[in-house]
Amino acid sequence: MAAIKYEIFDDLFLGDFMRTTLLNLKDLGYGYTPYVTKYADNGGAKFKLEVKNYFQAYHKKSGYCYLTNRFIFKSEEIFRKHISLKTNLYKIASFLSLQLTTILT
């Protein structure tokens, strides 16, 4: 909890300098990691309203790129929930996603 208190969780977690125990949480996937590492630690947004304001400020700064990135992020999130990593469809979609990201951003 000290890592969260001092806003260094992302540094320790991403640098692989700590051991993490999950309580009532399946994994540190998309529903957790960006909120703690990017939005809370780096963006200072710790509550729902702050996260909403964070996204609004980000949207104002980046405009078109923000919408493109949100579309790609949400599409990947939905796709990953329903398609196995081992399928050819997943590999093709990953390749296309990378190409689309490169073109649009």
Q: What is the pLDDT, as a whole number, of residue 57?
A: 84
Q: Which phi and psi angles does 24 have, rounded to 5°?
A: 60, 35
Tell me what pLDDT residue 27 has: 72
Cα–Cα–Cα angle for 47, 53, 56, rounded to 5 degrees? 145
- Cα separation, 65 vs 63, whole angstroms: 6
Tens-level pLDDT at each residue, the chain (105 residues): 677 677 777 777 666 667 777 788 777 666 666 677 677 777 788 888 998 898 888 778 777 777 777 887 888 888 888 888 788 988 888 888 788 777 765
Torsion of CA 76, 44, 10, 56, to 10 degrees: 10
Residue 32: per-residue pLDDT? 66
**Domain residue ranges in the chain:** 1-47, 63-105
Which residue, chain included where needed, has tokens 């939905």?
78
